[in-house]
């Protein structure tokens, strides 16, 4: 699959894990985390690799500086690639390192979580968190290649797999009603024979969306944020401790589906359908934090999409269709949160 962007194009390859070592340049600098390293140490150990602690805390300026200095110390040049081997944390961090080292070097995304395969590895958004907020420093730096090994997901723990499924459902809700129907009868897990087809389908949706709006300027890419305005506020209000990203956006999707119904944009009953699917998937669909509506709204107002006229949301028109809507009054959001 090819992704076109303003500076060229890149390929998304699907290969078995056993073929990964040969698919990567032997001299590439591998950036990974300790969990992923332990799973791949048999072939990585002969290659240049920087192994970082696992977890969101690693996506910070300190690791960013550490990676840059590691590359400089080893005299890496523009001609050698960086490999981001891991989940979205490593993909975002190593991608931002690649965007900055010598004003930009090529990098290859090798996403090893479901979330990274269907979402973060495609589209060129890279960055790190600052103490003041998530993803506050970053760049658009498309990878040279994305290499997806579906069988690498077999070692993911159940919670991380289900976390990625939240984004899979999201593609269905915003753009693919048929996918919703298929997921509902599938009971997808890491060894399901249809998993690769589903990941490919999600990647194709992401590809089409980022090709239509590479720099998030015309409202198309922002539709990917269904569930995210509320989801991000939940993550922040709970200090990123209680919920994984997919879990928070699962709750966010239920809230935003109801919000769409209440403003008359979404077909009535849609939020119930969304909630039932996510609940059956084992994702959270409600939270005590929703009771703290005022606080959540204050957090949402700091959202990049918010304007003075009100809050902005990617709202469903029905299952499989959505649109970006700005100027939603705070009072409407507050009463929706109160209704759940
Ligand atoms: N750039 C984008 O467009 C974009 C989009 C969505 C999310 N993100 C970012 O992605 C990050 C979250 O990514 P994530 O959910 O992949 O988290 P993550 O990278 O922290 O990975 C989750 C956990 O799984 C482990 N792991 C990774 N691959 C494994 C495997 N194959 N087997 C066993 N364990 C494995 C990791 O070590 C980690 O402990 C966030 O920082 C978020 O901001 C970026
Ligand atoms: Zn997301």
CA distance 156 to 55: 14
The answer, yes or no, to whether residue 306 has pLDDT greater than 70, is no
Query: What 8-state DSSP symbol labels residue 213?
Result: -
| Ligand 1 close to Cβ of residue 234 (< 6 A) | no
pLDDT of 79 reads 82
Q: Whose CA is nearest to atom 41 of ligand 1?
A: 89
Q: Are strands 49-52 and 82-86 parallel, antiparallel or unpaired?
A: unpaired
pLDDT of 50 reads 97
Q: What φ, ψ does residue 307 adopt, rounded to 5°?
A: -130, 180
Neighbour-count burial for 121-132, b at 16+ CB within 10 Å, e otherwise: bbbbbbbbbeee
- 73-99: average pLDDT: 94
- 90-98: average pLDDT: 98
Distance 310 CA to ligand 2 centre (A): 22
Band (pLDDT 50/70/90 cuts) for residue 17 is very high
pLDDT of 307 reads 61
Range list of H helices, 176-328: 177-184, 195-212, 228-237, 245-262, 270-280, 293-301
CA distance 121 to 88: 7
Q: Mean pLDDT for the chain?
A: 95
pLDDT of 310 reads 75
Q: Who contacts 45 (Cβ-Cβ below 8 Å, separation ≥6)?
A: none
The secondary structure element, H or E, covering residue 322 is: strand 321-328
CA distance 49 to 60: 19
Give CB contacts under 8 A, 24+ apart, made by 36-45: 36/85, 36/86, 36/87, 36/90, 36/112, 39/112, 39/152, 39/155, 40/85, 44/85
Ligand in nearest proximity to the CA of 120 = 1
Active site residues: 103, 125, 167, 206, 216, 221, 225, 228, 232, 245
| Ligand 1 close to Cβ of residue 146 (< 6 A) | no
Condensed to tens digits (0 to 9), the pLDDT of residues 26-84 reads 999 999 999 999 999 999 988 999 999 999 999 999 999 999 999 999 989 888 899 99
Band (pLDDT 50/70/90 cuts) for residue 302 is confident
**179 burial class (0-12, 13-18, 19+ CB within 10 angstroms)?**
buried
- 288-302: average pLDDT: 92
CA-only gyration radius of the chain, Å: 20
Considering the chain, what percentage of its residues have pLDDT values greater than 90?
Answer: 89
Band (pLDDT 50/70/90 cuts) for residue 237 is very high
Q: Which two tokens stand for residue 116?
A: 């990274």
Least confident of 65-69, 163-167, 211-215: 211-215
The answer, yes or no, to whether residue 308 has pLDDT greater than 90, is no
Ligand 1 pocket, mutate which of 37, 129, 160, 228 (most atoms under 8 A from CB): 160
- 306-333: average pLDDT: 89
pLDDT of 304 reads 61
| Ligand 1 close to Cβ of residue 32 (< 6 A) | no
The secondary structure element, H or E, covering residue 193 is: none
Distance 11 CA to ligand 1 centre (A): 21
Distance 74 CA to ligand 2 centre (A): 35
Distance 89 CA to ligand 1 centre (A): 5
pLDDT of 283 reads 98
Band (pLDDT 50/70/90 cuts) for residue 256 is very high
Q: Which two tokens stand for residue 300?
A: 């949402």
């Amino acid at each position: 699959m090819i992704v076109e962007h303003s500076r060229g194009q890149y390929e998304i390859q699907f290969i078995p894990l056993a073929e990964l070592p040969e698919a990567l340049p032997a001299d590439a600098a591998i950036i990974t985390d300790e969990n992923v390293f332990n799973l791949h140490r048999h072939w990585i150990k002969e290659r240049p690799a920087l192994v970082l602690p696992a977890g969101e805390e690693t996506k910070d300026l300190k690791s960013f500086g550490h990676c840059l200095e590691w590359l400089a110390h080893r005299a890496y040049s523009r001609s050698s690639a960086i490999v981001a081997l891991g989940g979205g944390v490593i993909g975002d961090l190593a991608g931002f390192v690649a965007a900055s080292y010598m004003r930009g070097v090529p990098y290859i995304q090798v996403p090893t979580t479901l979330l990274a395969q269907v979402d973060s590895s495609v589209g060129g958004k890279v960055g790190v968190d600052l103490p003041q907020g998530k993803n506050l420093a970053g760049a658009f730096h498309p990878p040279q290649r994305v290499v997806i090994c579906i069988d690498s997901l077999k070692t993911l723990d159940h919670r991380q797999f289900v976390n990625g499924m939240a984004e899979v459902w999201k593609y269905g809700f915003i753009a693919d009603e048929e996918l919703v129907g298929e997921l509902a009868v599938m009971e997808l897990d890491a060894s399901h024979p249809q998993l690769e087809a589903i990941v490919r389908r999600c990647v194709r949706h992401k590809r089409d969306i980022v090709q239509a709006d590479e720099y998030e300027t015309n409202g198309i890419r922002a539709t990917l944020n269904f569930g995210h305005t509320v989801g991000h506020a939940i993550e922040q209000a709970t200090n990123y401790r209680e919920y994984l990203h997919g879990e928070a956006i699962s709750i966010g999707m239920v809230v935003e589906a109801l919000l769409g119904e209440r403003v008359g944009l979404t077909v009535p009953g849609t939020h119930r359908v969304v909630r039932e699917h996510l609940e059956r998937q084992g994702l959270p669909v409600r939270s005590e934090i929703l009771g703290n509506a005022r606080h959540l709204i204050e957090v949402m107002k700091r959202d990049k999409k918010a304007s003075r006229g009100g809050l902005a949301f990617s709202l469903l028109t029905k299952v499989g269709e959505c649109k970006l809507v700005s100027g939603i009054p705070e009072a409407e959001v507050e009463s929706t949160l109160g209704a759940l």
